[in-house]
Structure formats: structure tokens, C-alpha cells
Chain A
Amino acid sequence: MLESHTPFQIFLKRFFSHRLALIGSFFLIAVGLGVVLIPEISPTDPSTTRPWLGMSPPGTQFPLCLSENQFKINEDPLTSPALKNAQSIVLELKGNEEQTEYRVVLRRGKIRTIQQGVTAYDEVSFKEGYSRLEAIDANGKVVTNLPPAIIKKGDKPPITWLQNKKQRVLIFRAYKEASNQQITIEMQGGICKSIQQNGNAIEQTSFDGKQIIDIKLDGKSGWRTFHFGSDQLGRDLFVRVFYGGRISVMVGLTATFVSLFIGLLYGTIAGYLGGKWDRLMMAFTDILYGLPFIFLVILLMVCFGRNLFMFFLALGAVQWLTMARIARGQVVVLRTREYLDAARMSGATTWNLIFKHLIPHTLGPVIVYTTLTVPVVIMEESFLAFLGLQIQYNNQMLDSWGALIKEGIDRLGNDGQQSWLLLFPASVMVITLVGLNALGDGLRDCLDPKEH
């Protein structure tokens, strides 16, 4: 007795010997894992901005904190999740510059009063201990890098400090260089338990992301790398690309399944009914084919808003026509087959015939066409995003690959200095599309009965 194979086993054997399909699957699995596992891989989320690191090229390091962070004892701190989840945080901060502001009133060229807040002074020395001095006149004009001097009541101020001779009021700002701070924070269950600044316990602290010189979380480095660089707001492009992939892949799959559902059912019914109904139903799809669909989608989105659901509906509605034709073509061939009469004889109802005896036979070409539709939908969504019609959800823009690519082109720079903004989203998208097309071709070969 010869060893026999079910159609599925034969399909598997062929699939695993089809190089193109395997390469395609490998690409897809890689991108798919990235898209699914991105929250696990990367502790930052795509909307976290780090303005001081805007437009950093790939490989730039960044600390895992927000641009402004606040810790208070026994309170939930205001910071990034990575810091909240840590047990101990050791920070080395560039000290904040201390600023003192003085108001000086002049009369007839001589100093009449010197005030800091409500305190009045007779004499203030700016000779030492200050890193820089600024003066602001009544019009708000700022003069920086003033030479150090001593001011005294009744004296004339140094001539370099004045912007014109008739000036009546001067505002001085003196900045003091602060030393680096060492801050250690103990956390427990996301609540701040103790804060030490240079060894002294304090009640609260706040710091900016750009102050950070070094950060350690639970003894490990709190620095990460922008693998794909960052955009103008300092968002991590690596994270954005894979989160964008979630939108693109979701749109691609959902719209494809919408089109699969409508198209398969419509085509099968048209083919099954045959005759007048067939002609009528297919004429309807022909008319729809005639409409310029990208305009229709734009119109739909303008009229009904750009929410996620509309997107699926609009793209699915574009794609089902071809699916319907394919399914109908299959069924027209099948409907004269004798086994349908046999099924009718065994008491099958119309729905029974369609779902049990017709649709399973159309699946070969339909599966192939489905895999080829996904990239088409992703491309179309990208095209719409490129035109500026991004998807919104809860009034938030969802950045898909198309949107990222558009942004990349906008911010490319005159000489392409920021090429990574375009390069990375585009490559990931190309890899996905190539993978899907390869898989589709492979499936077509593996499911083709002529290859038996």
C-alpha cells in the first residue's frame, strides 16, 4: 500500500521546500514579532518626547526619564514608567544654575535703590562667585556677558551695563554656577520612599532630563540607545516604527478580512445563482470598479471623520471587488460540477451548499489573493497618510508607516542630514511588503493543483 497524503500534508511538504515562501515567511515573522513584542522590547512609548535630544542620529544615548521629573516622599512620582518601576535610582545631575534678580532704579545717572524682591541693599558685589551677569532694560532688551563689577547706592553704574543714558530702571540677573548633585531615590511599589541629595535626606526634588549626566536604575545603566535615531521632538524612531507597524498591519489585516468576507460571500452567491442575478450583481461591481476609489475614500473620510472604523470600512470596500470576481470565477466553474447535484440529492440546503461545498473549493486562489491584498491595503493606507489623511482614534493621530515616511520626507533636511527619519520606516515597510508578496507567490505555487 502506498503511503498516502492528505491535501494539507502535501501542501506543507511543498511549502517547506519553497525557498521564496520561506524567505517571505521569515521576513514576516521578524516584523510580526517586532510589532507584537515592541512594548516588551522597549521600555519607552512612542509618544514620550525628549526635546533636548531632537533629531539625534541613530546610536545616540538617552536617559530613561521624562523631560521633567518630580519626586516627593510618599507620593506617586511624576516620571517615566521605567523609573517608577525601579527600586533604587542613582542620579548624577548637572546642578541647576541659581539666578538672583536685582532691580536698580536710577536718577540722574546715579543709583537710587537696589532691591532684590522686597529686600533693599546699599551695596552689592558681583565680582566673584557668579558665572554670568545679564541686564534687561525697560523694553525687555537683554544684554548678556556683562563684566563683573560692584554697585553702590549713589554711584554711577558701570557704563558697560547701560544700554542708553536716559535709562531709568535696570534689571540685573546674576547666575551662580551650581555644583553637580548626587541624588539617590529609594522606591517601593511605585511610591517614593526616601530621597537623598548629596547624602542629605530631602523632602522633594525635581530635575530636567537634560540635566542628567549619569543615571543608574537598580545598579544597571539607565541609558538606552536610539537604534533608529530620534525625530524633531526627541521621540525614539525605533519604537515609533514598530508601533506604527501595529497600525499599518492592523489596517492591512482588518481591511483585507472585511474585503474577504464581503467579496467571498458576494462572489460565491453571484456565481451560485447564475443567470440574471449573476449578471446584475457583477454589473454592480463593474460600476463600482469604474469609480476612482482613492477619491471616494477621501470623500468618505472627509464626510464621516477619520476614525479607525471608517478606515477599515473604506479600504475594505475598495478591495472586495476583485475578491468577489475571483470567488465568482471559481464558483462558475464549480457550479456545473456533479458533486453539487450529489450534495443537493443528499438534502443539502442552499446555505449548506455554499458554505460546505462551494467556499472550501474557492479557498486556494482566495488565500493567495488575500496575502496579496494585505500589502495593497498597507500601501493605500500609507498613501492616504502621506496625503495627510492619517487615522485618528480618540482625537489622537495614529502614526502608521505611511505617516512616518511622510514625516521623514518633510524633515529630511536640505542635504538629507536626517536621512534616518525616512530610511528606517521605509525599509521596515518594504521588508514587510516584499515578505507578503513572496509568501503570496509561494502559496499560489503550493496550492496550485496542476503542480501535483
Chain B
Amino acid sequence: MSKPILKINNFSLAYQNLGQSFPALKNISLEIASGEKVALVGPSGCGKSTLAKMLMGLIQQQIKTDGQILWNSEDLTKFSQRRWQEVRGKEIAMIFQDPLTSLTPHIQVGKTLTESLKVHNLLGNESRINKAVTLLEEVQIPKADQRAKQYPFEFSGGMRQRVMIGSAISCKPQLLIADEPSTALDVITQEHILSLLREVADHATEHAMILITHDLAIVDGLCDRVIVMEQGEIVEDRATKELIRDPQADTTKQLLAAVPSLNTPIFPKEMAKDAPSLLKVENINLIYQSSSGLFKKRTESTHAVKDVSFDVKKGEILGLVGQSGSGKSSLLRAILQLKPATSGHIFLDGKDIMGLTGEDLRQTRQTMQLVFQDPQASLNERMTIGDAIAEPLLNFKVCSKEEAKERSREMLKQVALDPNWYYRYPHQLSGGQRQRVCIAKALILKPQILLCDEPVSALDVHVQDEILKLLEELRETYGLTMIFITHDLTVVRRIADRIMIMKTGEIVETLGAKEFLEKATHPYSKQLIHAIPQIEVEINKDGN
């Protein structure tokens, strides 16, 4: 093996805040040779992003470090600002998690792409423009010459991530760090980005890559070696195939177990065939209109939901699957009348609730509740979680303040949180705990139907697993009817009774969960199934 380009010796790091020390990394030692592709895996909060930021010199907070990080036998912890500017982009480059926010909005994509070339004086003005086009072609963006002159808002999420990758490889860095490059994207886009990364990695054999992720499934086929981290420490560091076949550390086992797989057998719940339908949706259309211009009105309309009809039986869980932008969230909002539908009918328990306003509408919300995708954004950060859970009871004047408090504590216990956390604020909880709070808040009114808008996609795999288990339990206890939206087929297969596939505002296929994998006929459904990252360990075992 060639000489290591990166060598970390007993490195520890602690954040300093308000006189307190929060250790983030403990005694990390590792080596990365040039050309090596390494995955850094672990649950959220294990310190993997901190390590990546440290390698890029991007930590803004006050920190205390111990040990060395040798970059080409230079100690990186002692770099000056100027030295960092030389290193960043040229020697070490990074791809960020969220492509939506990591491109400067007012700078043309072509310029962003070649910015590091300009900073490091590697190319002249003329050739930079050509280089930008070549880079865009390299990351497989069609009509590259036109695209280079466009601005980030004209690009979709997946394309922006391609631009980020292009920008990162523009200076041919010795080390490329990819921090959860596909987590914020939906399955199909994720698949495209991963294959691009794979191509980039194969192409540049002399360059090392660190891929940071919480999902072991995408590591397979991309990285030769996996480093598993847990609470700031390295717990396992082995070759990928070996690690998947024979995990040693508990964390690794948990991570592997949590990987959603299409191969796991599912146990669809027994449904009474003649169960009455609880929610019936007829010919829903939702058209967003945006108007601009002061005197002459120009209206642009987007047909987000096109003529959708379906019904949900009592006690059933309906899974709604589609890519981002397919109109599934819009449909949910139309049903809840957070964004009223343009036309159509919604029957709840036989009563048409379409077009209700004011107090009547408010009352229907006792029977329908929503769990949001991002628990962070859907909790009022200035309210204690207990108050947040009790809020619906007080808003509908269900019971007195004291009783609401009592019930809220009860609910905290139900979603497996400590009732003594009543006075905590959302920012003191982890993502999974926050989502439990959101679920508690939705369930406290004992609604007849619970709508879940991607409740697990913002969470990492094993938290996802816990939340799904919780939902399954709650379904048992409350006899809940649910509509469950996701872009992840493995999740929906596990929880739903029926699966509905949605594409560009239309429902393309509806099938029972059990028969979905075999009977799906629509090409889009097949594409979705194909895009799921899989650990091929079973097949390997057969081969052995």
C-alpha cells in the first residue's frame, strides 16, 4: 500500500461553550492512503461531521484539541488561515450535505464551479469558462454550455449536488470529503448521485475519498474500507465486505440491522374486508397560482395535484410514495385544507368537509391530525415540549389546564419519553425525540385519522427504525387509520397495508403492500424499486 496522505494520531477534540467542555472526538487514530476510498459511518452525533470539518479547518466554534492530524506529514491543527486557503479546494475538497444552501445564490453556476481554480490561480479566465463546461459535462449535466450561465435557483436539488461535486473535483484534490452527499435527496436522485460519485471515484484512482454517511447500504460498492464511529470514538475499522459479512461492534450490528431492505419479509396486518371507508377523496385538483407584475397581471400556475381520487378504510394504513415534487405533500395539505384544493370533494366519515372555513374547519382538526416531516421546523422552539403537547387540548377546550398537563405527561410516557421532560425545550432533544413529541402532539386529541408527511426521512436509519416501531405500537393501541407519505419504499412496505405510487400529481399505481414487489407494472414503480440501495451480502453468501 502507498504512503498515507492523512495520518491522525490520538486526536481528541472538545467544544468549549459557556465555560463548559463538550467532548466530540476521543483519541481518534487512523490513516488514509492516497487512492483509498473510506466510509465514515455512525449514528448522528457520533462526531463524524466534526472530524470532517476539522480536516477542512471549518470549525468556527471555540475548541480544544489534543493530538495531531498529519496532512502529508504537516500538522494540520497548526495551520494558519493562509495555509488553509491554499489547502482548501486544492488539496482537500468537500461536498456538503445540503445542496440547496451550499451554492451562493447570486453567482452563476459556472463561476461557482471554477472558483477554486481561480483562487488557486490554476487557470486563466478564458480557459476557466471552457473548464466549467467540461466539468458540467463530467458530472453529467445536459446542455452544459447553457447551464454554466444559469443561477442555482434554476437547478433542481440533484443537479445542484452534481454542481457541488464538479466544483469539488475541479482542482483534482488529493482528498475528497463527501458529507452525507445524498441524504437530503430522494431515492431516485440519490441513486444518480451515488453512481456519479462511484464514477468519479473510479476515474480518479490516485485520489482518496472519505464518504460520511449514516447509511451502510450506500457504502457497499463505493468504498473499500469502513470506519464505524460511536460517541466520538472509532469502534470498528475494516474492509467493507468483511465488515458487512461479520460485524463485530454493537453499533455496526445496529446500523446493519437498521438498513431497510426489500428482502425482509413483511407481515401485513389482517384487515376486515368490509371495513367502512373513513376518508374518501374524489377528483382533487390543486393548482398553485403565482401572479407577478404591478399593472399587467401575469399568472403562472402549477398543477400540483391532478384529479386524484382514493379512499381509506377504517384501521388501514395507506402508503403514498413518490419522488420529491410529485405532489404528495400538496395532496396531504389539500386534504387537511392547510392549502385548500382548487376543486374536488373530501368526505370524512361520510361528511363533505371540502370548503369548510373558520370554526367548522377548526373543528374537523380534532379528527384529522398531521405529523410533519421535519420535527425541528414543526415545533415552536419557544414552547416547552409538554406545553406543546397539551396545546391542542386547551385550544379545543377539551379539559382544564391541570388535566391537560397530566394528559400531556401521560402522552410523553406513551411515546417512550420521560414525563419529567415536560419543561424541556425542543432544542434540548435529538431529532428522533422531537419526532416523538410531534407524534404525541398529534395523538393527544385521539384523532380518527393520522396523516404522516415523511415522518422518518429527516432521521437517521436506526432512529427511523425506532419511530416506525412506535407508530406500529400506537396503531395497535389506538386502532389508528393512517396515510403515510414517504419516498422510501422500504419504509412504506414495512408499515402500510396498501401502497399508492404518485408521479407528477397523478396516481400511477395502487397495490397491496404484500404483492407490491412482484406485481408492480408501471415503469415508474419499477424505477423506484430499483433505486433502493441494497447490501448485497445475501448474494455474496450464496456465492460463497
Is the CB–CB distance between A342 and B441 below 8 Å?
yes
Is the CB–CB distance between B438 and A342 below 8 Å?
yes
A40 at the interface (CB under 8 A from B): no
B 333-357 binary contact with A (CB < 8 Å = 1; else 0):
1001010000000000000000000
B 361-377 binary contact with A (CB < 8 Å = 1; else 0):
01001100110111001
Is the CB–CB distance between B362 and A338 below 8 Å?
no
Closest to B395 in A: A347
Q: Which of B243-251, B304-312, B378-386 is found at the contact surface with chain A?
A: B378-386
Is the CB–CB distance between A343 and B370 below 8 Å?
no
A6 at the interface (CB under 8 A from B): yes
Of A338, A345, A352, A357, the contact of B365 (CB 8 Å cutoff): A345
B418 to chain A, nearest CB (A): 11
Is the CB–CB distance between B378 and A346 below 8 Å?
no
B397 to chain A, nearest CB (A): 9
B267 at the interface (CB under 8 A from A): no
Is the CB–CB distance between B374 and A347 below 8 Å?
no
Q: Which A residues are CB-close (under 8 A) to B362?
A: 347, 349
Of B377, B382, B391, B392, the contact of A338 (CB 8 Å cutoff): B377
A224 at the interface (CB under 8 A from B): no
A 339-358 binary contact with B (CB < 8 Å = 1; else 0):
10111111111001000110
Q: Which A residues are CB-close (under 8 A) to B338?
A: 341, 344-345
Is the CB–CB distance between A338 and B378 below 8 Å?
yes
Of A3, A5, A348, the contact of B391 (CB 8 Å cutoff): A348
B14 to chain A, nearest CB (A): 12
B424 at the interface (CB under 8 A from A): yes
Is the CB–CB distance between A346 and B391 below 8 Å?
yes
Of B379, B395, B428, the most chain A CB neighbours within 10 A belong to: B395
B289 to chain A, nearest CB (A): 12
Is the CB–CB distance between B372 and A341 below 8 Å?
yes
Is the CB–CB distance between A5 and B365 below 8 Å?
no
Is the CB–CB distance between B377 and A339 below 8 Å?
yes
B: number of interface residues (CB 8 Å): 33
Q: Which A residues are CB-close (under 8 A) to B392?
A: 346-347
Q: Give Cα A396 to B421, complex, Å.
A: 58
A 341-379 binary contact with B (CB < 8 Å = 1; else 0):
111111111001000110011000000000000000000
**Which residues B414-437 have CB closer than 8 A to chain A?**
424-425, 427-428
Q: Which B residues are CB-close (under 8 A) to A2?
A: 20, 22
B396 at the interface (CB under 8 A from A): yes
Q: Which A residues are CB-close (under 8 A) to B396?
A: 347
Is the CB–CB distance between B366 and A347 below 8 Å?
yes
Of A2, A345, A360, A361, the most chain B CB neighbours within 10 A belong to: A345
Closest to A361 in B: B382
A: number of interface residues (CB 8 Å): 25
Q: Give Cα A249 to B264, complex, Å.
A: 73
Q: Which B residues are CB-close (under 8 A) to A339?
A: 377-381
Closest to B396 in A: A347
B539 at the interface (CB under 8 A from A): no
Closest to A9 in B: B18
Q: Which B residues are CB-close (under 8 A) to A337?
A: 377
Q: Give Cα A339 to B366, complex, Å.
A: 17
**Which residues A1-34 have CB closer than 8 A to chain B?**
2-7, 10, 13
Given contacts A5-B18, A338-B372, A341-B372, contact A346 B424 (CB under 8 A): no
Is the CB–CB distance between A352 and B370 below 8 Å?
no
Q: Give Cα A92 to B493, complex, Å.
A: 106
Is the CB–CB distance between B391 and A6 below 8 Å?
no
Of B370, B380, B428, the contact of A357 (CB 8 Å cutoff): B380
Closest to B387 in A: A356
Q: Which B residues are CB-close (under 8 A) to A357?
A: 380
B382 to chain A, nearest CB (A): 5
A 308-342 binary contact with B (CB < 8 Å = 1; else 0):
00000000000000000000000000000111011
Q: Which B residues are CB-close (under 8 A) to A5?
A: 18
B424 to chain A, nearest CB (A): 7
Q: Which A residues are CB-close (under 8 A) to B379?
A: 339, 342
Is the CB–CB distance between B22 and A343 below 8 Å?
no
Q: Which B residues are CB-close (under 8 A) to A345?
A: 336, 338, 365, 369-370, 442
Q: Give Cα A432 to B354, complex, Å.
A: 59
Closest to B392 in A: A346
Is the CB–CB distance between B425 and A7 below 8 Å?
yes
B 389-426 binary contact with A (CB < 8 Å = 1; else 0):
00110011000000000000000000000000000110
Q: Give Cα A230 to B162, complex, Å.
A: 78
Closest to A343 in B: B380
Q: Which A residues are CB-close (under 8 A) to B441?
A: 342, 346
Q: Which A residues are CB-close (under 8 A) to B378?
A: 338-339, 341-342
Q: Which A residues are CB-close (under 8 A) to B369?
A: 345-346
Q: Give Cα A2 to B336, complex, Å.
A: 39
Given contacts A7-B382, A338-B377, contact A349 B365 (CB under 8 A): no
B435 to chain A, nearest CB (A): 12
B162 to chain A, nearest CB (A): 27
Taking A7-B381, A338-B373, A346-B365 as known contacts, 10 extra A-B pairs with beta carbons closer than 8 A to each other, sorted by chain A number, are A5-B18, A7-B427, A338-B377, A339-B379, A346-B395, A346-B445, A347-B366, A349-B362, A360-B382, A361-B382
Pull 26 A–B residue pairs with CB atoms less than 8 Å apart, ordered by A: A2-B22, A3-B20, A4-B424, A6-B425, A13-B18, A337-B377, A338-B372, A338-B373, A338-B377, A339-B379, A341-B333, A341-B338, A341-B370, A342-B379, A342-B441, A344-B338, A345-B338, A345-B365, A345-B370, A346-B395, A346-B441, A347-B365, A347-B392, A347-B396, A347-B445, A356-B383
In the A-B complex, the 6 residue pairs with the smallest Cβ-Cβ separation, listed nearest first, are: A346-B392, A347-B395, A338-B377, A342-B378, A338-B378, A4-B428
